[in-house]
């Protein structure tokens, strides 16, 4: 079984050590769920899988590689499920919920209402930054189309780099997913960032992705849904607790 993963802490990332800086082990929420899936296949289906991991640092390259791959590939990329993507790839049942939130530098005025006056007063004259082809880019394009037609959109390689750029430049803004934003603030308490709550997106589902006509989709959906389902187990909760704080788990846990 081949697993492609997009490096995005704490979902899936490579943990490197001082003695082996060029190599490392894949870690994170998605990785641990896949490990439980492999054990489930062995115990419930009598199928023994040897897993090989391939790291991607560019979301577009990751997504397209999964889309064009052969049947046995599973993609871990903190991928938001939407109708456009469902035309191109298959999705597992949701393993987490999430939400897109608009982030500005901490010194920027808070937006009180979602209307043209407030948005232009606060974000007018600024530029945006996002990860190419991500759901976060879709939110920015919608904001540009509806309110800020003249903004320019730049690109970063990963979500944490978007937040790095915004914290360093009060003339930038962008969307982050809630988990990435929470994790970033925990790791960088001195960074000055603000969440503009009135421009938050709706709650969304994250799922693993597969190429069309794959061999894993049915098995994995059974893993998530049979009985009470994996997301009702203590192990699922323990995985979330190992990587996230209690204050955010209630927002993202699949119940």
Residue range 76-92: mean pLDDT, rounded: 95
What is the pLDDT confidence band of residue 17, given thresholds at 50, 70 and 90?
low
The pLDDT assigned to 22 comes to: 64
What's the whole-number average pLDDT of the chain? 94
- pLDDT higher than 90, residue 116: yes
| Residue closest to 31 by CA, chosen among 89, 75, 91 | 75
The pLDDT assigned to 18 comes to: 62
Residue range 130-143: mean pLDDT, rounded: 92
- pLDDT higher than 70, residue 20: no
- pLDDT higher than 80, residue 208: yes
Q: Distance of alpha carbon 106 from its chain centroid, rounded?
A: 23
- pLDDT higher than 70, residue 36: yes
Helix extents (H) in the chain: 29-40, 59-67, 83-86, 116-123, 135-146, 159-168, 178-187, 217-225, 234-243, 246-252
| Residue closest to 170 by CA, chosen among 248, 105, 124, 244 | 105
Listed in order, the ranges of the chain carrying CATH 3.40.190.10 are: 2-96+204-252, 99-199
Fold of 2-96+204-252: D-Maltodextrin-Binding Protein; domain 2 (3.40.190)
First to last CA, the chain: 28
The pLDDT assigned to 255 comes to: 85
What is the pLDDT confidence band of residue 60, given thresholds at 50, 70 and 90?
very high
Neighbours of 255 (CB within 10 A): 6
Q: Is 118 helix (H, G, I), strand (E, B) or coil?
A: helix
- pLDDT higher than 70, residue 21: no
Fold of 99-199: D-Maltodextrin-Binding Protein; domain 2 (3.40.190)
């Amino acid at each position: 079984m081949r697993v492609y993963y997009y490096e995005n802490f704490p979902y899936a990332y490579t943990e490197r050590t001082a003695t082996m800086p060029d190599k490392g082990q894949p870690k994170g929420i998605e990785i641990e769920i896949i490990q439980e899936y492999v054990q489930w296949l062995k115990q419930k289906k009598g199928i023994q899988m040897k897993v090989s991991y391939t790291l991607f640092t560019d979301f577009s390259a990751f997504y397209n590689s999964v889309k064009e791959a052969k049947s046995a590939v599973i993609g871990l990329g903190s991928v938001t499920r939407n109708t456009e993507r469902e035309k191109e790839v298959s999705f597992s049942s949701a393993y987490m919920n999430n939400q897109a939130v608009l982030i500005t530098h901490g010194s920027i005025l808070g937006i009180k209402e979602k209307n043209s006056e407030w948005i232009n007063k606060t974000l007018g004259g600024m530029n945006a930054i996002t990860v190419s082809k991500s759901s976060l880019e879709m939110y920015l394009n919608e904001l540009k189309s509806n309110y800020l037609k003249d903004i320019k959109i730049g690109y970063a390689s990963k979500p944490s780099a978007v937040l790095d750029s915004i914290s360093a430049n009060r003339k930038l803004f962008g969307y982050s997913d809630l988990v990435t934003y929470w994790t970033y603030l925990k790791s960088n308490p001195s960074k000055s960032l603000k969440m503009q709550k009135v421009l938050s997106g709706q709650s969304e589902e994250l799922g693993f992705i597969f190429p069309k006509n794959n061999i894993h989709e049915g098995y994995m959906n059974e893993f998530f849904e049979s009985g009470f389902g994996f997301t009702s187990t203590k192990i699922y909760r323990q995985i979330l607790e190992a990587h996230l704080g209690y204050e955010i788990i209630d927002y993202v846990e699949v119940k």
